[in-house]
Amino acid sequence: MFLFLRYRYQRLYSPEKLNDLLITQSKFKDITQDPCQYHINGDPLGIDDRYIKIKLYCHPGEESFNTLSLDVFKNKPTYTEAIQELSRVNGFPAVFKENNIDSLGTLKNTKDIIWSCYIDQNLSDNLDTVVRNAATIDCFYGVKRFNLEIYGYNGYK
Amino acid sequence: MDISKKKKIFITVLACFLVVFLAFKLRLKNYDKIPFFGDSMDEYSYSWVGLSLIELGFPVGNSGMTGGYPFNDSRYINLDRVFQGPSNGIPFKINYPWFDHPPGTGLITGGFAYFKGARVFEDVGIFLIRKPMVYIGTLTTFLLFVFAFQVFGLPTAIISSLIYATAPIFVVSSRMIQAENMLVPCFLLSLIFLFQYFKKNREIFLWLSALAAGSSLLFKISGISIILTNILLLLSLNKGKTKKTIKDLIVFIPVSCSFILFFITFGLVYDAQIFWNVLISNTDRVYGIGAQAIYQLINSSPVTEGKFLTDGWIISGWISFIALSFNKNKAKISWIFIPLLTYLSTYLFFGSFAFGWYRIPLYPFLSISLGYLIYSNLKKMTNFITSFILIMLPTGFLVNEIYAQFIQTNSSVWRLLNLILIILFIFLDTNLKIPKQFKKIANLLIIGLFIFALYLNLQFNQIIDVDYWYHIH
């Protein structure tokens, strides 16, 4: 039995295969095109401030509020990597272009409608920066900063 | 074979089939919804261990004993959309090589999932991995029937297996992927073989009993209670036959205990140091069941950590267990007493958190205790009041849950009915010169009440849906 288990372990195991086993999305999972359909509930307990909040606003009244533990990353991630991880967990495709969101699900940047992200209420033009612990990133689709109030949000710079 | 014998066999097989079929149908309904996915993350973890052993030849799971592992690998594995609800946003803490328990449970559920196409951890949804538990719960009902039949006879087998098949807490608990649900069939199987050994005196049955008892160690170390039970039964039932006892133990102990080598080998293959640390970290676990453990065993009915499903059948089981201790047929009673008390001692010794699943191996024996006591009273046409109270404990609770409104508006009928029955049964129990016909009628009333209780069990099982489960605590 010892030799059999040892042989299987040596033949089958590799850290890459383990990682695939852990993070590959299920073929049974419903891959949604709506980034606001699912969310990661609650504030993770016992991790102090090692988390970020990612809030997606797809349309007025259609939102996805998520809290993501930073412990799931080997190194401190960028905001892009954090949103990519969120897209993997919640099961929607995410595309990035020039350090910003190009599309989440079917919600794609066009000439007039774009994703605008605010890190701690400050407009960001570069999501490839390393996240700050306990930061909040709000990403709005379809609006420019001047009419954010249709979401009921004021005070964003 | 004469006709009456054929008829008896036909009735036995038919009764067994009907009870087992009922058990299967009840366990299958809502099996992937109740208990909620995520009520116990162990369910996923066990299956991950099995799947990773098949895929990578390496055990990977989520541990409750993180102290023994050098690191935690936190991951969001969003199976069943668990992060929408019960997980509270906390990623799974993945530990490897995983040594919390022997890998038998995981190999069954993870293996089943693999067989059905699961290849990554996110594939291991509750609808897949709980399916084998439905079959194992059904198998357990069958084994309970066989065990009760050979030790106590057909009527006790029917009564106790009907209780075990339909009591809501037994139905719900048996769906969960917990090693205890694997221990129970090993427990019953080892006792069935041991009984056959005493009956037929053929050594093959002693070997089979030892193999069944030992195989419990492939699922959880607390399976040691099954080995201990069989040893105590050998000592108790071989009383006065020292040579035979020694000979039996020389076969039984090495065969059954050798199964522990599988777990030790398993630990040595992957990492002896972590294996040892995890074993040792068990001693640091909180003694959550506390000194009030026995009181809570009778008083509360947890299914998972935070979900309680009050159920009078368990209290009735304990009362009948105590009542049976006065029974004069000690040899017969020892087939319930020794298993129950040995597992109880293990539960108190190994006890950690007050999770409901640690109690699962007690349930078949509580069902048999109750079934045997009810049948003994019916057979002797005595102790009507005892039978009445034992059946009324679950009945009263179930009536209140199902027909609360009706009882409130018709409380006078309910009060009067109880009063009349109690006075009647006390009268019958205390007056020796009552004609037999009256006692027969009283027996019919008890049987009717028992059938009504079973009907309520079925009704209540229908009521336990997502909405009901959401509201219980």
Q: Sorting pLDDT into bands at 50, 70 and 90, what band is B155? A: very high
* Neighboring chain B residues of A12 at a CB cutoff of 8 Å: 55-58
Q: Taking residues B14-22, report their average pLDDT.
A: 96
Looking at the complex, report in whole angstroms how far the Cα of residue B85 sits from the nearest Cα belonging to chain A.
6
| pLDDT, tens digit, 9 for 90 and up, residues A81-113 | 999 999 999 989 999 998 889 999 989 888 778
| pLDDT, tens digit, 9 for 90 and up, residues B72-102 | 788 999 888 888 876 677 888 899 899 999 9
Of residues A25, A45, A91, nearest to B88 (C-beta): A45
* Neighboring chain A residues of B77 at a CB cutoff of 8 Å: 22-23
The verdict on B403 touching A (C-beta cutoff 8 Å) is: no
Of residues B57, B123, B266, nearest to A26 (C-beta): B123
Helix H or strand E encompassing A7? helix A2-12
The verdict on B121 touching A (C-beta cutoff 8 Å) is: yes
Looking at the complex, report in whole angstroms how far the Cα of residue B357 sits from the nearest Cα belonging to chain A.
25
The verdict on B411 touching A (C-beta cutoff 8 Å) is: no
* Neighboring chain A residues of B122 at a CB cutoff of 8 Å: 24-26, 28-29
Q: Taking residues B147-176, report their average pLDDT.
A: 96
Domain spans in chain A, listed from the N-terminal domain onward: 29-151
Cα separation values, B54 from A23, B94, B296, Å: 17, 17, 40
CB contact under 8 A, B57 and A20: no
Looking at the complex, report in whole angstroms how far the Cα of residue B384 sits from the nearest Cα belonging to chain A.
54
pTM: 0.91
Contacts by B421-427, CB closer than 8 A, 24 or more apart: B421/B388, B421/B445, B422/B385, B422/B388, B424/B384, B425/B384, B425/B385, B425/B388, B426/B385
Of residues A10, A13, A40, nearest to B83 (C-beta): A40
- Give the integer Cα–Cα distance in Å for B78 and A25: 8
The verdict on B84 touching A (C-beta cutoff 8 Å) is: yes
Q: β-strand A115-119 against A94-97: which pairing, if any?
A: unpaired
pLDDT of residue B168: 94
Q: What value does the mean pLDDT of chain A take?
A: 86
The verdict on B85 touching A (C-beta cutoff 8 Å) is: yes
The closest of A22, A1, A4, A2 to A12, measured between CA atoms, is A4
| pLDDT, tens digit, 9 for 90 and up, residues A30-73 | 778 899 998 888 777 777 888 999 999 988 888 899 999 999 99
Looking at the complex, report in whole angstroms how far the Cα of residue B136 sits from the nearest Cα belonging to chain A.
25
- Give the integer Cα–Cα distance in Å for B63 and B69: 9
Tokens of B254: 């090495």
Whether the CB-CB separation of B328 and B64 falls below 8 Å is answered with no
Looking at the complex, report in whole angstroms how far the Cα of residue A66 sits from the nearest Cα belonging to chain B.
8
Task: State which residue of chain B sits closest to A71, comparing Cα positions.
Answer: B74
Encode chain B in three state secondary structure. CCHHHHHHHHHHHHHHHHHHHHHHHHHHCCCCCCCCCCCCCHHHHHHHHHHHHHHHCCCCEECCCHHHCCCCEEECCCHHHHHHCCCCCCCEEEECCCCCCCCHHHHHHHHHHHHCCCCCHHHCCHHHHCHHHHHHHHHHHHHHHHHHHHHHCHHHHHHHHHHHHHCHHHHHHHCCCCHHHHHHHHHHHHHHHHHHHHHHCCHHHHHHHHHHHHHHHHCCHHHHHHHHHHHHHHHHHCCCCHHHHHHHHHHHHHHHHCCHHHHHHHHHHHCHHHHHHHHHHHHHCCCCCCCCHHHHHHHCCECCCCCECCCHHHHHHHHHHHHHCCCCCHHHHHHHHHHHHHHHHHHHHHCCCCCHHHHHHHHHHHHHHHHHHHHHHHHHCCCHHHHHHHHHHHHHHHHHHHCHHHHHHCHHHHHHHHHHHHHHHHHHHHCCCCCHHHHHHHHHHHHHHHHHHHHHHHHHHHHCCHHHHHHCC
* Neighboring chain B residues of A44 at a CB cutoff of 8 Å: 88-91
pLDDT of residue A146: 53
Of residues A8, A22, A25, nearest to B94 (C-beta): A22
**Range of B2-6, B35-39, B349-353, B364-368 with top mean pLDDT:** B364-368
Amino acid at B62: N
CB contact under 8 A, B77 and A9: no
Task: State which residue of chain A sits closest to B94, comparing Cα positions.
Answer: A22
CB contact under 8 A, B87 and A42: yes
Of residues A9, A27, A68, nearest to B269 (C-beta): A9
- Using the 8-state DSSP alphabet, how is residue A41 labeled? -
Of residues A13, A17, A44, nearest to B89 (C-beta): A44
The verdict on B203 touching A (C-beta cutoff 8 Å) is: no
Across B83-119, b (16+ Cβ under 10 Å) vs e yields bbebbebbbbbbbbbbbbbbbbbbbbbbbbbbeeebb
- Interface pTM, i.e. ipTM: 0.88
| pLDDT, tens digit, 9 for 90 and up, residues B386-439 | 999 999 999 999 998 898 888 888 888 889 999 999 999 998 888 778 888 888
Domain spans in chain B, listed from the N-terminal domain onward: 3-26+134-380, 42-129
* Neighboring chain A residues of B89 at a CB cutoff of 8 Å: 40-44, 66-67, 69
CB contact under 8 A, A13 and B58: yes
Can you name the CATH fold of A29-151?
Ferric Hydroxamate Uptake Protein; Chain A, domain 1 (2.170.130)
> Facing residues of A117 across strands?
A124, A139
Task: State which residue of chain A sits closest to B87, comparing Cα positions.
Answer: A41
CB contact under 8 A, B122 and A29: yes
Cα dihedral: B68, B69, B71, B75 (round 10): -110
- Give the integer Cα–Cα distance in Å for B119 and A24: 9
Task: State which residue of chain A sits closest to B71, comparing Cα positions.
Answer: A71
pLDDT of residue A151: 66
Q: Sorting pLDDT into bands at 50, 70 and 90, what band is A74? A: confident
